[in-house]
Amino acid sequence: MSCLRGIRRAWSMCFVLAAVCAQVSAISSLANASATLLLEEPYGKLGFFTATGHAAVYLSAVCAETPVVLRTCAPGELGVVISRYDGVGGYDWLAIPLIPYLYAVDRPEDVPLFADPKMVTFLRDQYRRKSLTAIVPDLSSGEAPGGNWYELVGSAYDRASYAYEIETSAAQDEAFIRKYNAAPNRSHFRTVSSNCADFAKEVINFYYPKALHRSVVADVGITTPKQMAKTMVKFSARHPELQSTRFVMPQVPGVEARSAKVHGVVESFLKSKKYIVPSAIVSPIFAGCVAAVYLGTSAGRFDPARGALVYSAERPLDKPLAAEDRRYYQNELNRLVERRSVTERLMAENTSDTSGARQEKEKEKLSRVLRNASPNLDDGGHPALRMVVGGEEFSVGVAESNILANDVLPANFGKFQEQLLEKRLQEELRRGAPPKVSESDVARDWQLLQRAMNESDDQMAARSAKLVQPSSQARIEGTGNCP
């Protein structure tokens, strides 16, 4: 009986602790509520106004019952990105959970490590079919419709985004939910007077009246994302009592072109040769006035990435990879790839020409199969590429959750995993702005590459250990054990 009483007391204590933890979690989630202005870089070459990018607002304590109905977040939920879009279901604004908005998947571990256009299109349509058919229904043929709906999901495949976060309160969030659920939500998008930046300004100004404002001079009265970011930074500096953070959400490495620097209206005109050169020829005075406005308003001196940490869906905010560390990792990656090439060449020299020719044919065949691969989901619902080789079907994972989970693959198919991870690291280590990666991200990807190289061909790894001596000065854990 005493033992039974002890067990009951232990269970009672567990329930009490669980209740306390739940309360602490709920209080913590409320205390960490925030509104974050997103300044999204432009991409593509669709016209003059695309250089100004896009603006949205991420609300960490506001969630979506549906894309057009808001509610308070439950513990563990990450909030929504809310923005104004043109021609999406006739609505003025739509709210999408953070991870799907950025990556078109529900789980951070399912973000593809290297973005392929076919995979991105597939993931966007999968999310649309699951969560957005009431707003973006199928065509009569059953196919995905055209239009701007794709901007609702997978934003990070197209561009990088700068984020300017400022704390909010539970009362502010509740008032916001009541107002936006009750107000009409019908589209009245206009590029000049009611665009995405106007909506972002309205949302932030609801929380902090007159925090954001447009520039009549630098943007000729048009509200632009960059101007909203500048005024957000100034407001945060004037109110140090409100916790604020700046970070960048990098564009996912991939084959798509990298997004461009974001500009204001006058800045876009001045830095676009197809506009400023003809203007300078026709009217040098007008062109000089444009330059004077640009210089006088300090439009070009605002650096969106200044002081920004790096966002990751799976890890806390971290500092950008330092230039010295970037060079170090790049050199180590070059050495690693070179060692692999040397090992493969030495092994090829010990085989017959017929075998070498056969290996080249296998590589060509592999490349052809990869080009014909189709995006799919594996048995666990993770992104994968489906390939058919010799009448047999294989599924190759492309996300952290499944890239090393393949049990049986055709000969040389492990090389695909290595190549994907090498390309990802090369993109992450490339110079330029915005900051593309943090050291914790590089360390994770480096470990994945090493595991892929070891698991793809254990026999080659064993032989290369005899041919290539590991460096005693290797700073990265396990570097010397890789071929």
What the block records as the tokens of 200 is 């972002």
Position with higher pLDDT, 291 vs 198: 198
Mean pLDDT of 83-109: 95
Asked which of 127-136, 138-147, 355-364 is least confident by mean pLDDT, the reply is 355-364
Mean pLDDT of 49-58: 84
Q: What is the DSSP letter of 376?
A: E
Asked which of 77-81, 235-239, 422-426 is least confident by mean pLDDT, the reply is 422-426
pLDDT band at residue 405 under the 50/70/90 scheme: confident
Q: At 90, is the secondary structure helix, strand, or coil?
A: coil
Q: Are 80 and 96 in contact (CB under 8 A)?
A: yes
Q: At 310, is the secondary structure helix, strand, or coil?
A: strand
| pLDDT of res. 389 | 72
| pLDDT of res. 392 | 79
Q: Which string of DSSP letters, residue by residue, matches 410-437?
A: -TTTHHHHHHHHHHHHHHHTS--SS---
Is the pLDDT reported for residue 199 higher than 50?
A: yes
Mean pLDDT of 135-143: 91
Q: Are 55 and 40 in contact (CB under 8 A)?
A: yes
The angle at the Cα of 34, spanning 28 to 40, to the nearest 5 degrees, equals 140
Domain spans of the chain, in order of start = 25-262, 263-303, 323-481
Q: Are 83 and 58 in contact (CB under 8 A)?
A: no
| pLDDT of res. 431 | 81
Share above pLDDT 90 across residues of the chain, in percent, rounded to a whole number: 47
Can you give the pTM of this predicted structure? 0.80
| pLDDT of res. 471 | 39
Nearest to 156 by CA among 318, 40, 305, 309: 40
Residues 6+ apart with CB under 8 A from 49: 191, 268
Is the pLDDT reported for residue 112 higher than 70?
A: yes
In whole numbers, what is the pLDDT of the chain averaged over residues?
79
pLDDT band at residue 452 under the 50/70/90 scheme: confident
| pLDDT of res. 478 | 38
Q: Give the pLDDT confidence of 248-288 residue by residue, as tens digits.
A: 999 999 888 888 888 766 566 555 554 544 555 545 554 45
Is the pLDDT reported for residue 466 higher than 70?
A: no
Q: How many whole angstroms separate alpha carbon 370 and alpha carbon 278? A: 46
Q: Which of 98-107, 328-337, 350-359, 367-376 has the highest mean pLDDT?
A: 98-107
Nearest to 269 by CA among 280, 285, 258: 280
| pLDDT of res. 26 | 35
Mean pLDDT of 235-239: 96
User: In what helix (H) or strand (E) does residue 36 lie, and over which residues does it extend?
Assistant: strand 34-40
Q: Which of 63-67, 184-188, 298-302, 370-374 has the highest mean pLDDT?
A: 63-67
Is the pLDDT reported for residue 6 higher than 60?
A: no
pLDDT band at residue 388 under the 50/70/90 scheme: confident
